[in-house]
Amino acid sequence: MMAVETRRHFLKTTGVLSIGFSLLGVSCLQRTEKEGGNTFPFHPVDDSQINAWLQVLSDGRVKILSGKMELGQGIKTAIVQVAAEELNTSMHLIDIHIAETDVTPNEGYTVGSMSIETSAMAVRNAAASAREILVRMAAERFIVPENSLTLKDLIITGDNVRISIGDLLEGKQVQGKVTTPATILAKTERKIVGQPVPRKDIENMVVGKQHFIHDLRFEGMVHARIIRPPSYTAELLSMDNTDYSANGLLKLVWIGNFLGVISEEEYQAIHLARAIGKVANWKVGDALPTGQGMEEHILSLPSEPDPAVEKGLGKNGINGANIIHEASYFKPYLMHAANGPSCSLAIFQNGKLTIWSHSQGIHPLRSAISQLVEIPESDIHIIGVPGSACYGHNGADDVAAEAALLAINYPGRHVRLQWMREEEHGWEPYGTAMRMALKAGVDQKGKIQGWDFNLWSDVHGTRPFGSAENLLPARYLGKGYQRPVNGFKGGAPRNAEPYYEIQNMRMQTHFFKGPLRRSALRALGAYANVFAIESFMDELALKAGIKPMEFRTNHLKDPRAIRCLERLEDKINKIQKGDHEGLGHAFARYKNSSSYCAVAVWVLVDRKSGAIHLKKMWAVVDSGEIINPDGLKNQIEGGMIQSASWALKEEVKFDQKHIISLDWITYPILRYNEIPEIEVELIEQSDQPPLGAGEASQGPATAAIVNAIYDATQVRIRQLPIQRQLLLA
């Protein structure tokens, strides 16, 4: 059972509204007030105030608050480093509490590689502002100059002065607004920031301590499972009248086309769901498109073009070019494929609903669930707990909404709902399929004189955003909710405008409504767009008779981009390739405004089987100021591995009824023994702002792989995943 405290004891002992375990403690799980009670607050946090981000506990330690979710990116470690630096304080004296409604700031979603750029920098300013205020308070109290005092390890000292910040505040909090501090110690002292501090939560995972939401247990907790329809649009016609109470059924929750079972034991819930699912009578609904390739299907769908982005003569700049080349590229539907299926816990008691969720945005999720269950937001409390792997919008919000529905229909006890593997694979929102068509002209000097890029994509984000219709169970409740149509369009053209210097350019996005559920997947449209652009740049370079690396640098003016490519070339220019081996590389600046990333790949292709062996991958990355180089490298390496898996293996497949990629056999991913040696070099730019990096390497890694395959085989890959029969040709 997870330990909890009463709010009365909690307030007596801390004097503040939340508590978090130390970063160096045993778990990422967080304590909060007694769940399901009547006393949890509904006071939106004013994030302009210092005490929204930083609070002093009764023992004089400091607690940092962040609305961002820990997704495995190490944000908790990095944020504590930032705070410790500005407070000139050892990290073990700082706790951190993340993602809890009415306790932490509402920072929306943890998306877009923005956690360091936004949340960590907000904490930096709050901690530095607090340091200045605390020193000023001590100076006024002891009537000494501010510059004679030093704050270190939460104690202020000077000539005949020594006082802890807890004693200085006398049980109160630091009052004042977050301002632009006069001094940022990370820029002047830099003792903690920039150091490779390891994530202590990794140890908890390895030894099996409580960490993930899947580990949560409460006394008296019951278990649930959902009975899924056979298709997206299926309709429940009838159920039999069998009494399943002898099989452990506590309650069958039946609302419209929504079916869920609740039992004492998880094993019972699994078998009940399967048994009842067999006797449920469904009308299957609309058929999914089969019989043609997905790329051809995309082109057959009606599409809505966005206004074109043009520069110079647009696509007319291609006219009269010495070399004119065109090609199209395709990326299929991809899964998040989280290692741990989505999970949530909820309890409804005394009119209050408490939910534990690994959603990437607990505040917008609360708004959406409030609409769905018709309970005021003031009566809903959501506590963020890490899930087992996911970058993007998977089933976390959906399972939380389902757990809420079940808990409301079975009040007074904690209801735990975990999806099965086939549910996670079959019902999550996928990264959409995309098609990219490029045409360009190169002049006699080897410069691109005209560029035309057309992109076909569904929307890339249908997160709840406070809207109930974007939650999976909404469409089955019989309340008129329909399948989400709209979504975040801005994700589709991400990185579709090349970062290269091209005088005449045109780019246009064509939006279609695809057959599968879709939402945000790591890097959104940038993955496919960079794959297409960087493959095309290689093709143009070869047609122009120029080395691909040189061709890229000839079209760059940004010295930081050029430096990344030059350092990458230094790493690979002495590689001695064997038979059937190839080297390829690629470059992108994520979102054209975030981290710079140049990637190289060394491959061996088996000419008999077509099997691709990744021998080594390199990356050179410029993310501006580096907070934690260990965490940054982990992000880049993880992105490269995931990208390789997408490129080589992954594709969502379906029949007329529903998804058929329902396990690790029908949806294979890269295995541990297939992961190559990876070398990442970081270019430190401590005088520059930090840049998000979690999604920087996906596009360049896949492009580098296909370029390396061409170097080894002279076969150009333009459709993903890479098909062995293409290589056998």
Q: Which residues pair with 62 in a beta bridge?
A: 56, 94
Q: What is the pLDDT of residue 70?
A: 87
CB 463 within 8 A of CB 394: no
Residue 600 or residue 209, greater confidence? 600
Helices in 63-145 by DSSP H: which ranges? Answer: 75-86, 121-142
pLDDT tops 50 at residue 27: no
**Residue of 566, 325, 323 lying closest to 445 (CA atoms):** 323
Q: What is the mean pLDDT of the chain?
A: 90
| Pick from 177-181, 250-254, 275-279, 619-623: least confident | 177-181
Q: What is the pLDDT of residue 398?
A: 97
Q: What is the pLDDT of residue 29?
A: 54
| Pick from 72-81, 320-329, 445-454: least confident | 72-81
The answer for 12, left when phi > 0, alpha when psi is -120 to 50, beta otherwise, is alpha
Does residue 302 have a cis peptide bond before it, meaning omega lies within 30 degrees of 0?
A: no
**φ, ψ at 282 (rounded to 5°):** -115, 145
Q: What is the pLDDT of residue 729?
A: 65
Q: What is the pLDDT of residue 109?
A: 86
Share of the chain above pLDDT 70, in %: 93
Give strand ranges (E) for 227-375: 235-238, 249-255, 258-263, 281-283, 303-305, 309-311, 323-331, 343-349, 352-357
Does residue 690 have a cis peptide bond before it, meaning omega lies within 30 degrees of 0?
A: no
User: CATH: 3.40.50.300, 3.30.1370.30, 3.30.365.10, 3.20.19.10. Which one for 213-284+336-427?
Assistant: 3.30.365.10
| Pick from 67-71, 255-259, 333-337, 393-397: least confident | 67-71
Q: What are the boundaries of each domain within the chain? A: 7-201, 213-284+336-427, 558-729
Is 237 in a helix, a strand, or coil? strand
Is 620 in a helix, a strand, or coil? strand
Average pLDDT over residues 61-86: 92
Separation of alpha carbons 633 and 400, rounded Å: 32
Average pLDDT over residues 175-187: 90
Q: How confident is the model at residue 569 (pLDDT cuts 50, 70, 90)?
A: very high
pLDDT in tens, 502-542: 999 999 999 999 999 999 999 999 999 999 999 999 999 99
Separation of alpha carbons 450 and 530, rounded Å: 18
pLDDT tops 70 at residue 425: yes
**Residue of 348, 336, 375 lying closest to 463 (CA atoms):** 336
Average pLDDT over residues 84-108: 94
Average pLDDT over residues 67-91: 92
pLDDT tops 90 at residue 726: no
CATH topology of domain 558-729: Aldehyde Oxidoreductase; domain 4 (3.30.365)
| Helix (H), strand (E) counts: the chain | 17, 25
Q: How confident is the model at residue 209 (pLDDT cuts 50, 70, 90)?
A: confident
Strand 155-158 and strand 150-152: pairing?
Answer: antiparallel
CB 451 within 8 A of CB 260: no
**Residue of 466, 474, 392 lying closest to 101 (CA atoms):** 466
CA atoms within 13 A on the CB side of 86: 29
Average pLDDT over residues 403-414: 98
pLDDT tops 50 at residue 111: yes
Question: What token pair was written down for 367?
Answer: 């708004």
| Sign of the C-alpha dihedral computed for residues 537, 437, 651 and 232 taken in this order | positive
pLDDT tops 70 at residue 438: yes
Domains 7-201 and 558-729 agree in fold = yes
Look-up: residue for tokens 């999604």? Answer: 695
**φ, ψ at 579 (rounded to 5°):** -60, 140
Average pLDDT over residues 31-41: 39
Q: What is the pLDDT of residue 586?
A: 98
DSSP letter (8 states) at residue 116 = I
Average pLDDT over residues 44-48: 79
Q: What is the pLDDT of residue 92?
A: 95
Q: What is the pLDDT of residue 728?
A: 66
In one-letter notation, the amino acid at residue 351 is: G
Q: What is the pLDDT of residue 201?
A: 86
Q: How confident is the model at residue 202 (pLDDT cuts 50, 70, 90)?
A: confident
Is 597 in a helix, a strand, or coil? strand
| Pick from 49-63, 343-357, 557-571, 659-673: least confident | 49-63
Average pLDDT over residues 28-39: 41
Question: What token pair was written down for 21?
Answer: 């375990």
DSSP letter (8 states) at residue 212 = S
Long-range (24+ apart) CB contacts under 8 A made by 201-205 are 201/27, 201/28, 201/70, 201/76, 201/386, 204/26, 204/27, 204/28
Q: How confident is the model at residue 6 (pLDDT cuts 50, 70, 90)?
A: very low
Separation of alpha carbons 511 and 678, rounded Å: 36
Q: What is the pLDDT of residue 30?
A: 56
pLDDT tops 80 at residue 36: no
Q: For domain 7-201, is the CATH number 3.30.365.10?
A: yes
Helices in 198-259 by DSSP H: which ranges? Answer: 201-207
